[in-house]
Amino acid sequence: MERPNIDVKPDQIAQAGFQPFKDRWLTSIVLGAGFYHLFIWAADWTQIMPVSEHSAYLAPSSALSFCLLAIALFWTGTNSERSNRLTAILGLTGAVMLMAMFNWTAHHFQIGADIDQQLFGNDIKARMADTTALLFMFSAVSIILLRLGGSAIRLAHGVATIGLLITVLMIIAYVLNASSLYEITIFKYMSIWTSICFLCLFILVHLQDREQNWIWLIVGPGDGAKSARRMLPVMIITPIFLSWLVVKGSRQEIFDSAFRLSLLSFGLLLILVVIVLYSAHKENSAAAERQKLVDDLSLAVKDRDLLLREVHHRVKNNLQQINAMLYIQTATLSNERAQRALSSMSKRIEALGVVQRLLLQSPTIGALKAPHFVDELVSNLAKGYGGEERQVEIQQDIDHIDLDLDGAVTVGLIINELVSNCFKYGVENAAEGETVFIRVALKSEPDAIALTVADCYQPRAAPKKEVTEAEEKDTGIGQIILKSFVSQLDGEMFVSTNESGYSMRISFPDHKLRPAP
């Protein structure tokens, strides 16, 4: 099962409100149990441990195998790539597999004494059961696969999951009726210590890489994991407790088999209903909290939009007032150069005003639709320069692009400069009565957005009029402003001029004009 797509690292799980199993605790349990039993066997103190047909302690080979596997898992978790560490892990797991296979072969085919019998004689009461040998092989294989990494990790978790299920089955059988477990040949000689150590081992295997297995659904930081942690204890403990009560009642002959089955079914059904209702209550509460949060955020967004629109409205009004004052000031001037400078400034302010006006009309505060924006801007310029009277036809080829607010302001000022130049110089140089075409294009390209402004006209037969010093200075200032705007957006300019007109192409990086995702 793939884990949810949540960008949280394993070492951040504790910060999400859950303290995961500590690997060293589980390793300590396995190592402690193994070394304790090895010491007891080495000192010949087995009389201090309870001896029964249930083999309540680990066999020597089992204790040694648990110690070796715990050490191998500890080294696996260090993520060391040193060759001697890898060799040691393979050596430890290989030794465990050889012991398990030898004992399993000796028991299954009855071809001789197993390792424990060879060391402590045939009278030893603790031996490695067939299932224990199988689980040791599962553990060793899963550790080796973990160390291989890559796709082998999923296979390691699959092997460990099978071993974990068998271990849980054994523990449940111990709790309910250990005698019935030992009636099955493959489980004979298995101790409760064996089951506990295997439980710790297989959990350790899963915890080595939490993000690539189903245990993430329990130890992860999401709401689903929190819900699972709340319900799992009840779902595990209650059925086992009910089954234990039924077994106890059967032994004391309190009720017959039919009633036992009915009682167990009713208890399990009741548990499921309670869990479903509890889960529904939690989900409803969480949904209500989410809805309240969404409503609060929506209200905050509306308030923000209202404030932004008010700001844009005030800016628009201020720009209009500034423009009006410029017109009044221009009318009072007699100096042609000053009039031309103020007129150019007025056109730039009008371009800013178009941006503010369109922002007020736009459904999104932070972005503008390129076709509508460019059309409004160019139409205003054409009207201001008397485009219809001067037989100017403007052709637009604008892609459907969303422009970022800052980018739109700068592009608008660039278009204002270029189209104004077309009217000032291209239209003036056209033959009388000829229609002048001004083309404005804004096209989306791979990783870029290209702006093209060009005029096309038939030059006058008469020689051009001489350019005055004031006009040269005005043109120079316009070029400085244009280059400054292009530089702001990291653009590149390409100019082509011939007898039929002038063309300027500017390429901008895509991310400079588009709104942030």
Structural domains in the chain, sorted by start = 10-215 (no CATH), 367-513 (3.30.565.10)
For 138-191, write each residue's pLDDT tens digit. Answer: 999 998 888 887 778 888 888 988 988 888 887 777 777 655 555 555 555 567
In the predicted structure, residue 460 carries a pLDDT above the cut 60: no
Average pLDDT on 106-129 reads: 75
Least confident of 163-172, 182-191, 237-246, 405-414: 182-191
Q: What is the pLDDT of residue 286?
A: 80
Would you place residue 250 in the very low, low, confident or very high pLDDT band (cuts 50, 70, 90)? Answer: low
Q: What is the pLDDT of residue 254?
A: 65
Nearest to 126 by CA among 180, 68, 190, 77: 190
The larger pLDDT score, comparing residue 83 to residue 420, is at 420
In the predicted structure, residue 11 carries a pLDDT above the cut 50: no
Q: What is the pLDDT of residue 46?
A: 60
CA angle 439, 477, 409 (to 5 degrees): 55
Q: What is the pLDDT of residue 57?
A: 72
The larger pLDDT score, comparing residue 81 to residue 324, is at 324
In the predicted structure, residue 1 carries a pLDDT above the cut 50: no
Q: What is the pLDDT of residue 12?
A: 45
Q: What is the pLDDT of residue 229?
A: 74
Q: What is the pLDDT of residue 49?
A: 58
In the predicted structure, residue 226 carries a pLDDT above the cut 80: no
Q: What are phi and psi of 492, to 5 degrees?
A: -125, 130
In the predicted structure, residue 472 carries a pLDDT above the cut 70: no
Average pLDDT on 402-414 reads: 84
Looking at every residue in the chain, the average pLDDT score rounds to 75
Token pair for 348: 């730039």
Nearest to 420 by CA among 306, 325, 318, 340: 340
Q: What is the number of residues in the chain?
A: 517
Tell me whether strands 436-445 and 392-398 are parallel, antiparallel or unpaired: parallel
Q: What is the C-alpha separation between 398 and 284, in angstroms, rounded?
A: 49
Which residues does 432 contact at the CB level (< 8 Å), separation at least 6? 460
In the predicted structure, residue 19 carries a pLDDT above the cut 50: no
Q: What is the pLDDT of residue 6?
A: 39
The larger pLDDT score, comparing residue 49 to residue 418, is at 418
In the predicted structure, residue 412 carries a pLDDT above the cut 70: yes
Q: Is the Cβ–Cβ distance between 507 and 489 less than 8 Å?
A: no
Q: Is the Cβ–Cβ distance between 443 and 449 less than 8 Å?
A: yes
In the predicted structure, residue 503 carries a pLDDT above the cut 50: yes
Helix (H, G, I), strand (E, B) or coil at 416: helix
Would you place residue 18 in the very low, low, confident or very high pLDDT band (cuts 50, 70, 90)? Answer: very low
Would you place residue 269 in the very low, low, confident or very high pLDDT band (cuts 50, 70, 90)? Answer: confident
Average pLDDT on 128-141 reads: 87
Q: Is the Cβ–Cβ distance between 187 and 170 less than 8 Å?
A: yes
Least confident of 108-112, 213-217, 406-410: 213-217
Would you place residue 137 in the very low, low, confident or very high pLDDT band (cuts 50, 70, 90)? Answer: very high
Q: What is the C-alpha separation between 138 and 443, in angstroms, rounded?
A: 62
Q: What is the pLDDT of residue 67?
A: 92
In the predicted structure, residue 350 carries a pLDDT above the cut 60: yes
pLDDT above 90 as % of the chain: 6
In the predicted structure, residue 68 carries a pLDDT above the cut 80: yes
For 82-105, write each residue's pLDDT tens digit. Answer: 556 778 888 999 999 999 898 888
Q: What is the pLDDT of residue 205?
A: 85
Would you place residue 465 in the very low, low, confident or very high pLDDT band (cuts 50, 70, 90)? Answer: very low
Q: Which range, 35-49, 249-263, 432-446, has the best average confidence (pLDDT)?
A: 432-446
Average pLDDT on 56-60 reads: 76
Q: What is the C-alpha separation between 455 and 461, in angstroms, rounded?
A: 18
Helix or strand holding residue 492 (H, E): strand 492-498
Q: What is the pLDDT of residue 232?
A: 74
Average pLDDT on 406-410 reads: 83
Nearest to 27 by CA among 59, 75, 62, 60: 75
The larger pLDDT score, comparing residue 241 to residue 412, is at 412
